[in-house]
Amino acid sequence: MFDTTALNQQRNFFDGHADIWLFGYGSLIWKADFAYLERQPAFITGWARRFWQGSHDHRGTPDAPGRVATLIRAQGEVCHGMAYRITPDVLAPLDVREKNGYLREKVPLTFLGQRGDTQSEKATTEGLIYLATEDNPAFLGEAPLVDIARQIAHAHGPSGSNKAYLLNLAQALRELGSEDAHITALAEQVRSL
């Protein structure tokens, strides 16, 4: 299996920073199994969340991969998620966990809520995401929604069922008041199978 761990250790965009804002748009929204200093709902623009990345190690197997979230460039789109303020040592275990194709990337993010400028009630900063682009070997890409739903409904891996990953994400976005049409439609398809 391709392994991005070593590549990510070179991607030190925030070297010398005491803390880093990590933007979660997938499992990180509902499963933050790392220490963080604070968290805040946030969004990034110009990106769309899609279940286009294969999972051979967490929500599927090499023989029957699952599908997990990545981001696709999409002008005018807004992707909501959760930003975590972390210390830099948190990244190394995440690099290992997300080694199947994800690379650290730097993005501008905007906080929702009270942080920053009190007039507009929002503020922006540079944040970090884990991104799986189309040139990584585990990338599966676009497919009809029903085919993606069937694949998710049947896949299981060491971290659990692919269905639970999707439904937890759909619920977390609903609870944030930031539903995502692609995720909602996919969750409905999977439930109806």
Per CB under 6 A, residues contacting ligand BEZ are 24-28, 69, 98, 102, 130
CB-wise, 146 or 160, nearer to ligand BEZ? 160
Instruction: Give least dist CB 179 to ligand BEZ, A.
Output: 17
| Neighbouring C-beta atoms of residue 29, cutoff 10 Å | 24
142 classed as catalytic: no
Distance between CA atoms of residues 151 and 186, nearest Å: 11
CB-wise, 28 or 166, nearer to ligand BEZ? 28
CB-wise, 81 or 151, nearer to ligand BEZ? 81
| Neighbouring C-beta atoms of residue 183, cutoff 10 Å | 22
Task: For CA atoms 6, 31, 111, 36, give the dihedral sign.
Answer: negative
Distance between CA atoms of residues 143 and 186, nearest Å: 12
DSSP H or E run through 81: strand 66-86
CB-wise, 71 or 190, nearer to ligand BEZ? 71
141 Cβ contact partners less than 8 Å away, ≥ 6 residues apart: 52, 134
Per the residue annotation, which of 98, 126, 134, 175 is the catalytic one?
98
Catalytic residues: 98
